[in-house]
């Protein structure tokens, strides 16, 4: 008795997971936290500095550090949106500039190196064309005599 199977056999290989997709955002958050925290390096740079910034009669920055408590929730929202917009623009603009730079460099290299090499090969082929034609004719004659 003959049996047949219409089963579809699929050799499924697992797709490797992309690891490290959260590394850059976590590093950015850590850097932002270190930048804005009172015990961070940024704060110690300006502590004791003879600088005072006053906006609308309120001291916003002094030698004691930046006073975050003076910010309203709307100012926090606008500041966060500005940081997010800056991050998105950097994520789009930097790779685009790098790709354009690589493209321009590749084009310059092709024009500076590739075209002279191509012209040199063309000149050599042109100089050797009589010899190449004789060799091609000999090949055809040998092929015709043996075939």
Q: What is the pLDDT of residues 104-124, one digit of tens each?
A: 999 999 899 988 999 999 999
What digits encode the pLDDT tens for the residues 54-106? 788 877 766 655 566 667 888 888 888 998 999 899 999 999 999 999 999 99
Centre a 10 Å sphere on the Cβ of residue 65 and count the other Cβ atoms it contains: 16
Please tell me the distance from the alpha carbon of residue 13 to that of residue 17, in angstroms, as a whole number.
12
Residue 4: DSSP 8-state:
-
Which pTM does this prediction carry?
0.41
Residue 54: DSSP 8-state:
E
Residue (of 50, 78, 48) closest to 64 by Cα position: 48
* Cα-to-chain-centroid distance, residue 65: 36
* φ/ψ of residue 28, rounded to 5: -65, -40
What digits encode the pLDDT tens for the residues 8-59? 666 767 767 777 777 878 888 887 777 676 655 555 565 566 677 778 887 7
For the stretch 29-47, what's the b/e string if a residue is b when 16 or more beta carbons lie within 10 angstroms of its beta carbon? eeeeeeeeeeeeeebeeee
User: Can you give the length of the chain in residues?
Assistant: 147
For the stretch 102-126, what's the b/e string if a residue is b when 16 or more beta carbons lie within 10 angstroms of its beta carbon? eeeeeeeeeeeeeeeeeeeeeeeee
């Amino acid at each position: 008795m003959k049996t047949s199977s219409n089963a579809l056999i699929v050799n499924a290989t697992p797709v490797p997971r992309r690891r490290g997709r959260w590394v850059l955002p976590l590093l950015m958050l850590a850097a932002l936290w270190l930048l804005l925290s009172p015990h961070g390096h940024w704060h110690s740079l300006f502590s004791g500095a003879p600088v005072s910034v006053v906006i609308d009669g309120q001291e916003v920055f002094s030698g004691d550090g930046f006073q975050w408590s003076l910010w309203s929730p709307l100012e926090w929202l606008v500041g966060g949106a500005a940081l997010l917009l800056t991050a998105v623009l950097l994520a789009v603009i930097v790779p685009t500039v790098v790709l354009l730079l690589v493209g321009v460099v590749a084009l310059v290299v092709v024009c500076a190196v590739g075209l002279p090499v191509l012209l040199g090969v063309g000149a050599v082929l042109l100089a050797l064309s009589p010899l190449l034609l004789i060799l091609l004719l000999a090949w055809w004659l040998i092929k015709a005599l043996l075939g």
